[in-house]
Amino acid sequence: MPKYIEMPKLSDTMTEGTLVKWLKKEGDPVAMDESIAEVETDKATMEMQSFDEGILHRILVKEGEAVPLGATLAILLEDGEAPPADGDLPAAKAVAPAAASPAPAEQPASVSAASVTPEAATPASTERVKASPLAKKIARETGVDLTAVSGSGPGGRIIKKDVLAAPTGGAGTAPKAKPAPVALEDRRIPLTGMRRVIAQRLLESKTTIPHFYLHIEVDAAPLMTARQQLNAEAEATGGTKLTVNDFVLRAAVKAAQAVPAVNASFDGDAIIQYGDIHLSVAVAVEQGLVTPVIRGAQHLDLTGLSLAMKSLADKARNKRLTPDEMQGGTITVSNLGAYGIDFFDAIINPPQSMILAVGAIVKKPVVNERDEIVPGLRMNIGLSGDHRVVDGAVGAEYLAALRKYLEQPVLLLL
Amino acid sequence: MSQYDLIVIGGGPAGYVGAIRAAQLGKKVACIENDRAGGTCLNWGCIPTKALLKNAELYATLKEKAGDFGLSFDNLSYDWSKVIGRSRKVADKLAGGIEFLFKKNKVDYLRGTGALAGTGKVTVTAADGTVATHEAKHVLLATGCRARDLPFLKFDGKRVLGAREAMLMPEQPRELLIIGAGAIGVEFAYFYNAYGTRVTIVEMMDHLLPVEDTEISQALEKSFKKQGIQFHLATKTTAAQVTEAGVELTVEPVKGGAPVTLKGDACLVAVGVGAILPGGTEKLELTERGFVKTNDRYQTNLPGVSAAGDLIGPPWLAHVASFEAIHAVESMFDPQHKSKKVEIFPGCTYCHPEVASIGLTERACKEKGIAYKVGKFPFQASGRALAAAEPEGFVKLIYGEQYGELLGAHIIGAEATELIAEMGLAITLEATHEELENTIHAHPTLSEAIHEATSDAFGHAIHI
């Protein structure tokens, strides 16, 4: 009896899933509980396990295709079992809810084995790449394209650390310019689950939340000095090296403890004032943006925050975040400093009522207390507030506290 | 006064290698040495002790296993002075070899004691007291370390010994006490025990060779017990009395307990080493433990002065020192050079059975929270080991759980120190178990144990 592998429900709010990548080929044996494909839901990319064992007879959904829950993805046969006639496919189950089918659907039944060409997502390349066995293995499993990675090993050989540092998405380093295609046609790009969530949530935020914007410019010189000292010590003792963002996160948390009114949500006929500070941090990834959450951030010191942030960012880039790690934030920090942005305004991440927009540290002329023009290190921070919850004065109070902590970084060590 | 591109102070495995490397780069180089070219390693460490240990192993094989091999003879005896003498001859021959290498590479070999005398200046004080001053654009400090003694047990060269004296004993002691069960303590314990000296080791930590994987230490303890070597682990030495007749140590368990008195003709103190700093007016910045502080490019706090080898801190190994010196010199003359600090290095102990390791121990994996798999293979199941009458020991390999990369290799048994090279290459090349398994290992060889241990980690060893 052939078994039909269907699109599983991998999260509570999932209505459809995108088949990102097949981990098995037609003809491969499949064990029970073995991962057979990567599936992107509205929240995350996860591995899908098989509930049966057998031989993967036929793949019905192409990589990159979005299908509704319950749609048949592949057929599994027992060893030696005759394949079913094409007409026997449980086509009924594959019918999508009529309205909610955004992807230009190719009918699964028409997909033949030959057309299942793993195109965009495949890291394997015919070009010979000089890479260590471990680097190749990690690249294969995390979806890093080795042809786009430059190696730091002998003779430019790609080693483990190069692959780990390489963007699986756009985060971290600037995306490499791809040679332009010969024919400059318009393309219709189906939305990924993540892109759809970003579109829907930010439209809702910008149209239903009365945003207002405040900006301050802080003196970043003390922070840079403190960071340099702490990192020199970390280097000597093998401790954790801190980024500028780690200091910003810590200051954001301390300031929220000082002005708890910003750590709140608008809830119809009431305001929910949160006890804990769960810090959402915007991380750029391959096809968009995720905001993993550092829970109970007020309990973490500078090093703790730094480690938590690194771990979440790594997971985000390797698509290993669990839905839990992306929910329940109460304040968001978005930092585009590394991208050379001096200042910007961010859109609130609902149901939160405040987001910080952190710019780059810039060397520029400043007027000191003796009215002289001297070079200074400055950082611009924007606050976007939900005026239903946070008034301008409260926002200003919060930014004043933030300034205090950033300009006296020794307080962040408490 | 002469002018140099580089003056190296110290002619050991860091100094002579650094000097020759700079000469290869076309630089004018001098190397200052106040004892013998080759440093501790060649004259008072690695090499002469290996000569002694070969003697010991040969003697022990004839004494213990001759019958198994069908050999018989009467009155097997040895001449102690020749045992020591052969070791010195080997060292002399190699020291001469270094002087030849200096000539071949046009390195000026300056005999005397080097000292820093201000930026770009180095003085050399010869044995007769004459002082010469030289100028150098760069200075490489490679003065090494010397054995540390204990506050209540000062080296006297006769009863209280460092490794250097222990390899020159004019007469074989009947009873030898050894404080410290690192490589030096353990090697001398094996050597003297093989010749019939009654040896007792005192070690503060819980195991012999405490830095090794615990299972390896335990296997060595079992073997040493069988060989008749006494040892007191987790035991500290609290007092000592040195007389004409010998040494008396008071030792007690680290965790507390009744003190015990141990007696011997002599006591080898092998508890560690301390940096030998060059003389001079310059103030070198040191680490908390008294070693010279260097940055990623092996530069000290003094302009134009770099350092490499034992004096910049552990691990105190000749092969690490040479590696550091090459990177220090290349960093000096090539601003583009990507300098490397030592991270992964093999450690070898040449007692019998030999112990060799590289990379992480199982203990370290647990501490770091790394998910791992262990594969083991006993030499008892190796055809080659049985044919050589060396069934003792095993190979233990640690692989990463997720990607199957080699994290650590730990070998105890005959030729362990030769077998470890393959494991170093595997780690440097970031090999995974697949490359190890896909490499055909010749049959019959001891190296098959590595192949089998790898398969064992992934559940498909054939021969166990």
**Across residues B152-168, what is the average pLDDT?**
95
Do B405 and A160 lie within an 8 Å CB cutoff? yes
Q: Does A35 touch chain B (CB under 8 A)?
A: no
Per CB-CB distance under 8 Å, the chain A contacts of B369 are none
Nearest residue to B441 via CA among B457, B426, B458: B426
Cα-based torsion angle of the residue sequence A276, A282, A285, A288 in order, rounded to the nearest 10 degrees = 110
pLDDT reading at A123 higher than 60: no
Name residue B257's amino acid.
G
User: Among residues B319, B352, B441, B443, which one is catalytic?
Assistant: B443
Residue A375 pLDDT exceeds 90: yes
Q: Which residue of A has its CA nearest to B287?
A: A236
- Asked whether B371 and B400 are in contact (CB, 8 A), the reply is yes
B353-457, what's its fold?
Enolase-like; domain 1 (3.30.390)
Chain position carrying tokens 């981990």? A23
In chain A, residues under CATH classification 2.40.50.100 are 3-115
- What dihedral do alpha carbons B33, B36, B41, B43 form, nearest 10°? -170
- B340-389 residue pLDDT tens: 888 899 999 999 999 999 999 999 999 999 999 999 999 999 999 999 99
Range in A183-187, B282-286, B303-307 with the lowest mean pLDDT: A183-187
**Number of other CB atoms surrounding residue A374 within 10 Å:** 9
Give pLDDT, residue A27.
84
Tally the residues of chain A.
Answer: 414
* Domain locations in chain B as residue ranges: 3-146+274-333, 160-271, 353-457
The structural architecture, per CATH, of the domain A195-413 is 2-Layer Sandwich (3.30)
**pLDDT in the model for residue B233:** 97
Q: Which residue has the higher pLDDT, B410 or A71?
A: B410
pLDDT at A60: 86
- Of A11 and A264, the structure prediction assigns the larger pLDDT to A264
Indicate yes or no: pTM above 0.80.
no
Can you spell out the DSSP letters for B44-80?
ISHHHHHHHHHHHHHHHHHHHHTTTTT---S-----H
A124 touches chain B (CB under 8 A): no
CB contact under 8 A, B405 and A141: no
pLDDT at A76 over 90: no
Domain B160-271: which CATH class?
alpha beta
Residues in chain B: 464
Q: How far apart are CA A395 and CA A354, in angstroms?
A: 9
Contact across the interface for A134 and B431, Cβ inside 8 Å: yes
- CA A270 to chain CA centroid, nearest Å: 31
Dist CA B221 CA B393 (whole Å): 12
Chosen from A35, A47, A130, A132 to mutate, greatest number of chain B CBs within 10 A: A132
Q: Which residues of B touch A134 (CB under 8 A)?
A: 403, 405, 430-432
Question: What b-and-e string marks burial along B183-217, b requiring 16 or more CB atoms within 10 Å of the CB?
Answer: bbbbbbbbbbbbbebbbbbbbbbebbbebbbebbb
Q: Could you read off the pLDDT of B44-66 as tens digits, one per residue?
A: 999 999 999 999 999 999 999 99
For A48-53, which contacts have Cβ atoms below 8 Å and span 24 or more sequence positions? A48/A8, A48/A10, A50/A5, A50/A76, A52/A3, A52/A5, A52/A76, A53/A29
A3-115, which class in CATH? mainly beta
Please tell me the predicted confidence (pLDDT) of residue A112. 40
User: A13 CB contacts (<8 Å, ≥6 apart)?
Assistant: A42, A43
Q: Do domains B160-271 and B353-457 have the same CATH topology?
A: no
To the question of domain B3-146+274-333 being in CATH 3.50.50.60, the answer is: yes
Which H or E element spans position B329?
helix B318-333
Q: Does residue A173 register a pLDDT over 70? A: no
Give residues with Cβ within 8 angstroms of B47, minimum separation 6: B38, B41, B90, B91, B94
Of A183-192, B182-191, B208-217, B365-374, the range with the lowest mean pLDDT is: A183-192
- Pick the most confident of A75-79, A195-199, B173-177: B173-177
**pLDDT above 70: percentage of residues in chain B:** 100
pLDDT band at A177 (very low <50, low <70, confident <90, very high): low
pLDDT band at residue A127 under the 50/70/90 scheme: low
Mean predicted confidence (pLDDT) in B167-176: 95
CATH number of A133-165: 4.10.320.10
Q: Is residue B250 within 8 angstroms of chain A, CB to CB? A: no
For the cut 60, the answer to whether the pLDDT of residue A89 exceeds it is no
Are the beta carbons of A366 and A244 closer than 8 angstroms? no
Chain segment A36-69, per-residue pLDDT in tens: 888 888 777 788 888 788 888 888 888 888 888 8
Q: Which of A25-34, A301-310, B24-33, B357-366 has the lowest mean pLDDT?
A: A25-34
Q: How far is CA A353 from CA A160, A280, A296, A346, in A?
A: 41, 12, 18, 12
- For the cut 70, the answer to whether the pLDDT of residue A3 exceeds it is yes
Q: What pLDDT was estimated at residue A88?
A: 53
B443 is catalytic: yes
What is the distance between the alpha carbons of residues A258 and A260, in angstroms, rounded to a whole number?
6
**Do B234 and B206 contact (CB within 8 A), yes or no?**
yes
The amino acid occupying position B251 is: V
Candidates B352, B444, B358, B370; CA nearest to B396 is: B358
**Looking at chain A, which residues constitute the CATH 4.10.320.10 domain(s)?**
133-165
Which chain A residues contact residue B404 at CB under 8 A?
137
Q: Do B432 and A135 touch (CB under 8 A)?
A: no
Joined tokens for residue B257: 């307990």
Contact between A41 and A10 under an 8 Å Cβ cutoff? The reply is yes
Q: What is the dihedral of CA B358, B364, B370, B372, to 10 degrees?
A: 60
Mean pLDDT of B87-109: 94
What is the structure's pLDDT at A379?
96
DSSP run (H or E) holding B84: helix B80-104
What pLDDT, on a 0 to 100 scale, did the predictor assign at position A99?
Answer: 41
Report, as an integer, the average pLDDT of B304-328: 96
Residues of chain A with CATH 3.30.559.10: 195-413
